[in-house]
């Protein structure tokens, strides 16, 4: 049989077995990942029931599976969401990782493993499974619970820590010792490339997608997204990092675009396919003979993982001030080994610092903890109720943060000095990374390029042109580093008004930024010329005069910075325009204990068909209903006599806790799809009208949409909503148009005129 047919046969065996065992897992109400791993164990080489001809080809497919898993994870990740979860996720993840790393080291030494094996064991035991937890929360209907935000935020931080750990462990294993200098260099290199990729990606990719949006069908958008993913994977590998890191970074960049959610839906099938191959390949590594020989380490590591993750996860959430209920649910949710554990274990084996039997041992522990995860999550509620009954009231009062304390902490975090230092540090860091990249690029590539293009030039001309080009490219970023910063200026002016003596530390910060910018100029000059001390002093003085004069004469953002800020915030701006009322409430109430959420009323709800005055929304939840959306009709500030019908979308406003409780109850009642108002033939859709498209500039009566089975139910322009527009309404580019009607015709119209926000 030819090699191509062998590959097809292997894939057939893998996918058929995966499909069969996931059906069994689903029937038994177990996680699908467990079915994949069991399928891999059955078809793997150790049992010999099926002849997999080439495990190398399966490993290559599984590598692609890891890429798509991390790409999809990146699409669900948002740096802004992580900042909102803030210190709580960092503290919880830090507590888990440090605690489990130390525990893993101790256990590794106790069971007789080598020091290097113990270090890798501590690293791989620090990671919970993002895939398993998200799947379990989805299956159990817990994604809207109050503690889910902290759990998912902690998982994201753990994934970032895992990426750093892989770099550190590789450095330690290569040097066969703890080399502090190399470790710090590896960390600095990782941080440098992460910031650089994110900055360049946010500047370039959203601008490109915005320009090409009118041409982006689902097929083209999918091709572009996967191409960008593999491009970043190649770039990460070239820079000496893992392919998984590149996939995750590109996913996180695309998640900040308007198209991010849509791309996530487009790649989900590909991710499921290759992810299945990855988990089946993991199961193929399970060697029953090795597990039988090493059953005691498997048992010990399983117990340590479940108990340790639960304790350290709960402790971290408590230290973060999230209360006993959230802490217990967080700890019980994290009690398993994750995908990065496989990768770290495989890394240790490939580097030759871990014995071969350890990998199947880790796989066995992961399989067992995967099986126990849903039961641990379910057990959190009764355990929490038991603790609330048994623990003293005074002790519980200390564990659960009071609203006053939270409000005080929030106010302290918004102090003017903290805002100033945060803006200052962020600006210096980001611009320094870009300038360093330009400097290194000039030194490594520009010299060679000029030499190859103009070999007859003299050394003086060559150096002069190279330096001039380098400084020209650096100029806008030097300006941004030393001069710009309206956010810094606002805080500085406010502080100097409060206290005149604040001008001296603020002046020192201004001068420090200028000196950093001058240092980049001097570094670029020294590459090509040897300078005396007097020449260096002259450059410093000239730089000081130039930047101080520039600060006095120019106070606007550069075009580069404006574009970056626009791209970074375009997703939030798009959502604000699509839902102006909810977004407006959130923006105005930011920093206060007020929340606003849209909820769809289920046909199974006890409130459906009743008047608002007869529904105890305020008495039971403490919330107010500010808006009701019924098809194309919007009822703002509804009267007490207004009826609530099935599939009405209501905007609930109240405190964060009240709104979360209301959303949880409504979600539990809503057993149907959130898009239940849509049927196979009817759809309610939204798109942004693009310039030059069919509807741009047309009057509504000229479109004859009703004859095609569609109707315009509303238009939003410049934040203002117009429901049921009149026949003489004229469309223009930038309008958000609501369509209702036959699915096929509406989808054609959306495709011809704008981009659909799925």
Task: Give the β-pairing of 633-636 and 720-723.
Answer: unpaired
Residues 6+ apart with CB under 8 A from 346: 359
Judge contact between 105 and 118, C-beta under 8 A: yes
Mean per-residue pLDDT over the chain, rounded: 76
pLDDT of 411 reads 43
Q: Which two tokens stand for residue 256?
A: 């900040």
Q: Of the residues 528, 562, 596, which one is the last residue of a structural domain?
A: 562
Q: 428 and 360: one domain?
A: no
User: Does the pLDDT of residue 244 top 50, yes or no?
Assistant: yes
Determine the Cα–Cα distance for residues 483 and 486; give it in Å rounded to an integer: 9
Helix (H) or strand (E) holding 184: helix 180-212
Kindly report whether the global pTM for this prediction surpasses the value 0.85: no
CATH number for the domain that contains residue 659: 3.30.70.1450
Average confidence (pLDDT) over 370-396:
83
573 Cα distance to chain centroid? 18
Under DSSP, is residue 605 helix (H, G, I), strand (E, B) or coil? coil
Q: 168 and 260: one domain?
A: yes
Judge contact between 485 and 492, C-beta under 8 A: no
Q: Of the residues 535, 562, 589, which one is the last residue of a structural domain?
A: 562
pLDDT of 550 reads 64
Output 638 or 413, whichever has higher pLDDT.
638
Instruction: Please provide the size of the chain in residues.
Output: 758
Q: 180 and 55: one domain?
A: yes
Question: Which region among 199-203, 340-344, 486-490, 515-519 has the lowest average model confidence (pLDDT)?
Answer: 486-490
Q: Which two tokens stand for residue 280?
A: 């089946």
- List the Cα angle 279/238/451 in 5-degree steps: 165
Q: How many domains does the chain have?
A: 4
pLDDT of 311 reads 92
pLDDT of 502 reads 73
Q: 628 and 694: one domain?
A: no
Q: 627 and 699: one domain?
A: no
Domain annotation covers residue 397: no
Q: 225 and 361: one domain?
A: yes
User: Does the pLDDT of residue 394 top 50, yes or no?
Assistant: yes
pLDDT of 557 reads 46
Q: Of the residues 562, 593, 617, which one is the last residue of a structural domain?
A: 562
Domain annotation covers residue 399: no
Determine the Cα–Cα distance for residues 499 and 718; give it in Å rounded to an integer: 41
Under DSSP, is residue 724 helix (H, G, I), strand (E, B) or coil? coil
Q: 589 and 504: one domain?
A: no
φ/ψ (deg, to 5) at 273? -65, -55
Output 578 or 46, whichever has higher pLDDT.
46
Distances in whole angstroms, Cα of residue 392 to Cα of each of 59, 316, 385, 387, 574? 54, 21, 13, 9, 49
pLDDT of 552 reads 53
Domain annotation covers residue 104: yes
Output 681 or 125, whichever has higher pLDDT.
125
Q: At what angle do helices 416-441 and 503-526 cross, to 10 degrees?
A: 10
User: Does the pLDDT of residue 175 top 70, yes or no?
Assistant: no
What letter would DSSP give residue 699?
Answer: B
119 Cα distance to chain centroid? 28
- The owner of tokens 């290569």 is 174
The partner residues of 611 in beta bridges, in order of sequence, read 643
Q: 445 and 543: one domain?
A: yes
Q: 665 and 717: one domain?
A: no
Domain annotation covers residue 547: yes
State which residues form the domain around 491: 415-562
Q: 322 and 446: one domain?
A: no
Helix (H) or strand (E) holding 643: strand 643-644
Q: 282 and 331: one domain?
A: yes
Domain annotation covers residue 391: no
Domain annotation covers residue 619: yes
- The 10 Å CB-count burial string (b at 16+, else e) for 295-306 is eebbeebbebbb
Q: 447 and 340: one domain?
A: no
pLDDT of 65 reads 80
DSSP calls for 273-330: HHHHHHHHHHHHT--HHHHHHTHHHHHHHHHHHHHHHHHHHHHHHHHTT--HHHHHHH
Determine the Cα–Cα distance for residues 201 and 252; give it in Å rounded to an integer: 10
Determine the Cα–Cα distance for residues 705 and 683; give it in Å rounded to an integer: 15
Judge contact between 259 and 208, C-beta under 8 A: no
Neighbouring CB atoms inside 10 A of 5's CB total: 10
Domain annotation covers residue 225: yes
Domain annotation covers residue 495: yes
CATH number for the domain that contains residue 138: 1.20.1530.20
Region of residue 424 (phi > 0: left; psi between -120 and 50: alpha; otherwise: beta): alpha
Judge contact between 159 and 66, C-beta under 8 A: no
Determine the Cα–Cα distance for residues 460 and 297; give it in Å rounded to an integer: 68
Residues 6+ apart with CB under 8 A from 469: 442, 446
Q: What percent of the residues of the chain are helix, what percent strand, and what percent coil, each to the nearest 5?
A: 70, 10, 20
């Amino acid at each position: 049989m030819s090699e191509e047919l062998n590959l097809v046969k292997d894939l057939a065996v893998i996918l058929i077995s995966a499909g069969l065992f996931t059906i069994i897992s689903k029937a038994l109400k177990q996680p699908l990942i467990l079915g994949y791993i069991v399928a891999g164990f059955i078809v793997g080489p150790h049992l010999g029931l099926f002849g997999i001809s080439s495990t190398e080809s399966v490993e290559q497919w599984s590598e692609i599976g890891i890429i798509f898993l991390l790409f999809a994870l990146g699409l669900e990740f948002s740096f802004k969401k992580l900042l909102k979860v803030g210190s709580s996720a960092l503290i919880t993840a830090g507590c888990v990782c440090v605690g489990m790393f130390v525990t893993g080291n101790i256990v590794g030494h106790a069971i007789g493993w080598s020091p290097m094996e113990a270090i890798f064991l501590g690293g791989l035991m620090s990671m919970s499974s993002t895939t398993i937890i998200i799947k379990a929360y989805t299956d159990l209907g817990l994604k809207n619970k109050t503690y889910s935000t902290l759990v998912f935020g902690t998982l994201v931080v753990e994934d970032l820590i895992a990426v750093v750990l892989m770099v550190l462990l590789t450095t330690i294993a290569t040097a066969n010792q703890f080399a502090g200098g190399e470790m710090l260099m590896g960390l600095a290199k990782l941080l440098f490339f992460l910031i650089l990729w994110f900055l360049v990606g946010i500047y370039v990719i959203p601008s490109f997608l915005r320009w090409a949006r009118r041409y982006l069908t689902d097929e083209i958008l999918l091709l572009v997204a996967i191409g960008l993913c593999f491009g970043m994977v190649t770039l990460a590998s070239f820079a000496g990092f893992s392919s998984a890191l590149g996939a995750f970074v590109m996913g996180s960049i695309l998640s900040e675009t308007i198209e991010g959610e849509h791309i996530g839906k487009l790649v989900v099938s590909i991710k499921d396919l290759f992810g299945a191959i990855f988990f089946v390949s993991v199961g193929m590594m399970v060697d029953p003979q090795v597990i039988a020989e090493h059953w005691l380490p498997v048992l010990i590591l399983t117990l340590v993982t479940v108990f340790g993750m639960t304790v350290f996860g709960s402790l971290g959430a408590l230290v973060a001030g999230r209360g006993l209920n959230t802490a217990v649910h967080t700890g019980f949710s994290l009690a398993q080994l994750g995908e990065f554990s496989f990768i770290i274990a495989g890394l240790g084996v490939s580097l030759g610092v871990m014995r071969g039997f350890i990998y199947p041992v880790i796989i066995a522990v992961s399989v067992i903890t995967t099986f126990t995860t849903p039961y641990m999550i379910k057990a959190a509620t009764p355990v929490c109720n038991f603790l609330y009954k048994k623990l003293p009231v005074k002790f519980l009062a200390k564990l659960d943060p009071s609203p006053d304390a939270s409000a005080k902490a929030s106010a302290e975090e918004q102090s003017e000095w903290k805002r100033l230092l945060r803006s200052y540090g962020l600006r210096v860091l980001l611009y320094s990374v870009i300038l360093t990249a330009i400097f290194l690029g000039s030194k490594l590539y520009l010299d060679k390029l000029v030499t190859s293009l103009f070999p007859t030039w003299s050394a003086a001309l060559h150096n002069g042109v190279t330096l001039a080009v380098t400084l020209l490219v650096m100029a806008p970023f030097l300006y941004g580093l030393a001069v710009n910063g309206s956010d810094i200026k606002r805080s500085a002016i406010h502080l100097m008004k409060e206290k005149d003596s604040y001008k001296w530390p603020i002046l020192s910060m201004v001068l420090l930024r200028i000196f950093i910018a001058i240092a980049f100029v001097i570094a670029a000059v020294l590459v090509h010329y040897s300078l005396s001390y007097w020449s260096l002093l002259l450059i410093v003085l000239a730089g000081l005069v130039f930047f101080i004069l520039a600060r006095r004469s120019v106070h606007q953002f550069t075009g580069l910075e404006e574009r970056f800020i626009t791209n970074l915030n375009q997703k939030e701006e798009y959502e604000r325009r699509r839902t102006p009322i909810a977004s407006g409430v959130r923006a105005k109430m930011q920093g206060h204990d007020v929340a606003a959420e849209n909820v769809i009323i289920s046909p199974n709800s006890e409130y459906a068909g009743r008047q608002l005055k007869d529904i105890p929304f305020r008495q039971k939840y403490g919330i107010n209903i500010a808006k009701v959306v019924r098809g194309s009709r919007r009822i703002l500030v509804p009267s007490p006599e207004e009826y609530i019908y099935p599939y009405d979308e209501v905007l609930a406003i109240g405190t964060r806790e009240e709104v979360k409780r209301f959303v949880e109850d409504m979600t539990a009642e809503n057993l149907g799809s959130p898009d239940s108002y849509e049927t196979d033939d009817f759809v309610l859709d939204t798109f942004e009208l693009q310039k030059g498209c069919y509807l741009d500039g047309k009057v509504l009566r000229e479109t004859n949409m009703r004859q095609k089975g569609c109707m315009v139910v509303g238009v939003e322009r410049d934040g203002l909503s117009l429901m049921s527009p009149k026949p003489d309404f004229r469309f223009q580019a930038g309008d958000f148009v609501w369509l209702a009607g036959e699915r096929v015709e509406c989808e054609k119209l959306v495709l011809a005129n704008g981009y659909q926000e799925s």
